[in-house]
Chain A
Amino acid sequence: MNILAYIIQKEFIQIIRNKAILPMMTVLPIVQLIVLSNAASNEVKNVNVVVVDMDQSESSRTLNHKIIANDRITLVATSFNTNEAHFYLQENTSDIVIEIPPDFENDYINGKQPKIQLLVNATNGQQAIVGSGYLKAIVASFNAKLIQKVIPDISISKQSNTTISSRYWYNPELKYTHFMAPGILAQLTALLTIILSAMNVVREREVGTIEQINVTPLKKWQFILGKLIPFLCIGLVLFTVGIIASKLIFSIPILGNLPLLFGYTTLNIIAVLGLGLLISNFADTQQQAIFVAFFFIIIFVLMSGLFTPIDSMPKWAQQLTVGNPLAHFISVSRKVLMKGSGFWNIRFEFLYTFILAFIFNGLAVWSYKKQV
């Protein structure tokens, strides 16, 4: 026990002497939180539009004004030439081209169905779908008003339609930062701890100290635990700093039980550290370790539900996330902070993370050989 305490103490001395780690623990997470929570947004806040109004009637102008009046839509240009409008799409200056045909108003009055064409730049699917959605909504409301004006009797029956009113629970103002910050917090903690641990054992190998250590009667578990505990502490400090920062900066909700969240965080960090140590055992140089760790990090982050919901992934990918500690972490962080979930609501995350922690650490102890 004395030996273990001493190894941990030694590890801490080394960490404190390493000038890179302290800023990594404090400044980096706050910067990332601020930047990512605000910037990594899926919201479509601005759609650039080019209007080709061939009709130039009262109705078409009304529609035009309605479109421009929307604060999420910016009118880039108006044109009378379809080819010119296409040029804007090609140049990427416009996301959508709206073509109002020459007989737009006439067709209305004559009871025909006038057609408006939307040409959407779908390179970015999200932008395309949401942007055209905005425009469809505008056209629909314009339509309703116009029909009311032209054929007043029909509109009465239209208005008795079912209306939907939704209330947004857990995030009533639909604040994107409230959703992102808890996820990014989890991601940051996992990312830093996996890198630190992956670099550590391999660093001893590079510097040669491991050769000296291996000739001592030091037990494998003492060595691994001596590495794990200091990094666990760092991870918890980082997570705490992150929570305080997100509370102060974004005033994120903290509805759930914090000890529960920290309990889960501890378990999750242990799992991630186990993976880091496992990588470290198989790598010969820090460079190799970083590349392998990066491979896992990219997969973990992109398949964690941080940016894209896990529910919208294909079935096989959804099943894969069971092995992704970051996915569980993000899920728990959001559930506990935003919804105030208790232990029962996150029992599966606990279970899966426990299994992962067991597997990763078991393999790490097993694969650490005190021989060359």
Chain B
Amino acid sequence: MDAITVEHITKKYGGVLALNDVSFTVGKGELFGLIGPDGAGKSTLFRILTTLLLADKGKGTVAGHPIVNEYKEIRKKVGYMPGRFSLYQDLSIEENLSFFATIFGTTVEDNYDLIKDIYVQIEPFKKRLAGKLSGGMKQKLALCCALIHKPEVLFLDEPTTGVDAVSRVEFWDMLKKLKTKGIAILVSTPYMDEATLCDRIALIQNGEILKINSPQQMISNFEKPLFSINSTETYRLLNYLRVQNFTESVLPFGENLHLITNKPYEVSQIEHHLKISGFSDSTAKTIQPTVEDIFLDVSQPVN
């Protein structure tokens, strides 16, 4: 039985379509990522699945319970970490944790083994008020509070936004461990580099799911010729490539340009073409696509 099923869910805010016919499933012990930019509809989907919001159309189940009729059961079985830090800032780490344990009818001791790995990292500061914690520690505390009642499904809405790089890596390590305990995790992130850490990902934009697959499959399924080009005149080169016949898309990636061509070329052909066009110092190479390349490719309207 799947931990989460979503079938044709649609939600409108006024005239704006926040979610358009979204469907996917998340299995038990699966780490499923919703990858998309701000405003893609990720938080709306989280709210619908955590029974805070009603969808206009479509249905879904969480932990085997339909999201509308059995919302009370769902609330007992899910852990939710909203995008914004939502714990009591004027309570200490300890107090927040035992508060959430109590309202779920359990105690910190009962489920300590589940949160132990995470909690030991913030335990030295357990008397500190939550409002005075650093971003990374806040996330760890929020994760502890979301886990304290042994949920079957964990919803993490942009858990690493605003968290430093080291804490982000640690956070994803923790998620991997949780997954082995059979907890299904739905996580959203705007960071494409985190996508490869998920079992499967859904690329979402403007309320629509563009693609669902494992990140590895997505990368190996990508068949378009992709080149990374380095040049000292990046901006001029970008403008030049945009209007070429062989270009399908060209986008800046850091100090390089990622070029997708509409038919296969050799690296030497590209380099040669650039040299005779006045970009003598530019170098090109074939690269494996990243999730970001794939996202930009599917999200871009083809001219």
Q: Would B84 and A208 count as touching, CB distance under 8 A?
A: yes
**A214: interface (CB < 8 Å):** yes
Interface residues of A (CB under 8 A from B): 2-3, 6-7, 10, 13-14, 17-18, 207-209, 211-218, 370-372
B99 CB within 8 Å of chain A: yes
- Chain A nearest CB, measured from B70 CB (Å): 12
Task: Report whether A372 and B47 are in contact in the complex, using a CB–CB cutoff of 8 Å.
Answer: yes
A212–B76 alpha-carbon span in the complex (Å): 13
Q: Is the CB of A10 within 8 A of B86?
A: no
In the bound complex, residues from chain B placing their C-beta under 8 Å from that of A6 are: 98-99, 102-103
Across the interface, name the chain A residue whose C-beta is closest to B80: A215
State how many angstroms separate the Cβ of B47 from the closest Cβ of chain A: 6
Interface pairs (24), CB distance under 8 Å = A3-B102, A3-B105, A6-B99, A6-B102, A7-B103, A10-B99, A13-B90, A17-B129, A209-B88, A212-B86, A213-B103, A214-B52, A215-B50, A215-B52, A215-B78, A215-B80, A216-B103, A216-B104, A217-B72, A217-B103, A217-B104, A217-B105, A371-B52, A372-B52
Neighbour of A13 across the interface among B53, B72, B84, B91, CB < 8 A: B91
With A10-B99, A217-B76, A217-B105 in contact, is A212–B87 under 8 Å at CB? Answer: yes
Cα A274 to Cα B20 with chains together (Å): 40
Tell me if B95 and A10 are in contact (CB < 8 A): yes
B50 CB contacts on chain A under 8 angstroms: 215
By the criterion CB–CB under 8 Å, are A372 and B100 in contact? no
User: When A3-B102, A6-B99, A217-B104 are in contact, do A212 and B82 touch as well, CB less than 8 Å?
Assistant: yes
> How close is A183's CB to chain B, nearest CB, in angstroms?
35
Kindly list chain A residues whose C-beta atoms are within 8 Å of the C-beta of B95.
10, 13
Q: Name the 5 nearest CB pairs between A and B, nearest first.
A: A212-B86, A208-B86, A6-B102, A215-B80, A208-B84
For A7, what are the chain B residues with a Cβ–Cβ distance below 8 Å?
103
B126 within 8 A of A: no
Query: How far, in angstroms, from A6 to B88 measured CA to CA in the complex?
Result: 14
Least distance between A18 CB and chain B CB atoms (Å): 7
**Interface 1/0 per residue, B80-122 and A, CB below 8 Å:** 1010111111110001001110111100000000000000000
Contact with A along B255-271 (1 / 0, CB 8 A): 00000000000000000
Q: Which residues of B contact A218 (CB under 8 A)?
A: 103
Task: A208-B85, A211-B80, A211-B82 given; name 9 further pairs at CB < 8 Å.
Answer: A6-B103, A7-B103, A14-B90, A212-B87, A215-B52, A216-B100, A371-B51, A372-B47, A372-B52
Q: Which residues of A contact B128 (CB under 8 A)?
A: none
A215 CB → nearest B CB, Å: 4
Q: How many A-B residue pairs have CB under 8 A?
A: 70
B-side contacts of A17, CB under 8 Å = 90, 129
**With contact pairs A13-B91, A371-B51 given, residues A211 and B103 touching in the complex (Cβ less than 8 Å):** no
List the B residue with the shortest CB-CB distance to A369. B52
- Give Cα A208 to B138, complex, Å: 14
B65 at the interface (CB under 8 A from A): no
CA distance in complex: A372, B11 (Å): 13
The distance in angstroms between the C-alpha atoms of A99 and B170, with both chains bound, is 93
- Least CB distance, B129 to chain A, in whole angstroms: 8
Contact of A372 with B84 in the complex, beta carbons under 8 Å: no
Contacts of A207 in B (CB 8 A): 86, 88-89
A216 and B91 contacting across the interface, CB-CB below 8 Å: no
CB distance from B103 to the nearest CB of A (A): 5
Q: Give CA–CA (A278, B118) in the complex, Å.
A: 39
Asked if B133 is at the interface of the complex by the 8 Å CB criterion, the answer is: no
Judge whether B75 is part of the interface by a CB distance below 8 angstroms. yes
Q: Select one of A10, A371, A372 contacting B91, CB under 8 A.
A: A10
Contact A371 B102 (CB under 8 A): no
With the chains together, A6 CA to B72 CA distance in Å?
21
When C-beta atoms are compared, the residue in chain B nearest to A16 turns out to be: B90
Q: Does B251 contact A (CB under 8 A)?
A: no
Contact assessment for A217 and B75 in the assembled complex, using a CB-CB cutoff below 8 Å: yes
- Which of B95, B98, B100, B102 has the most A CB atoms < 10 Å from its CB? B102
Chain B residue with the shortest CB-CB distance to A207: B89
B219 on interface, CB distance cutoff 8 Å: no
Cβ of B53 and Cβ of A14 under 8 Å apart?
no
CA distance A183 to B40 in the complex (A): 57
A65 and B82 alpha carbons, distance in the complex (Å): 81
CA distance in complex: A6, B80 (Å): 21
Q: Is B238 an interface residue (CB 8 A)?
A: no
Closest to A7 in B: B103
- Closest Cβ–Cβ distance, residue B267 to chain A (whole Å): 51
Nearest neighbor of A14 in chain B, beta-carbon distance: B90
Interface residues of B in 32-52 (CB under 8 A from A): 47, 50-52
Contact A212 B80, beta carbon cutoff 8 Å: yes
- Asked whether A3 lies within 8 Å of B90 as measured between CB atoms, the reply is no
- Give the complex CA separation of A158 and B76 in angstroms: 90
B100 partner residues in chain A, CB cutoff 8 A: 212, 216
Q: Does B54 contact A (CB under 8 A)?
A: yes
A contact residues around B47 at 8 Å (CB): 372
B75 to chain A, nearest CB (A): 5
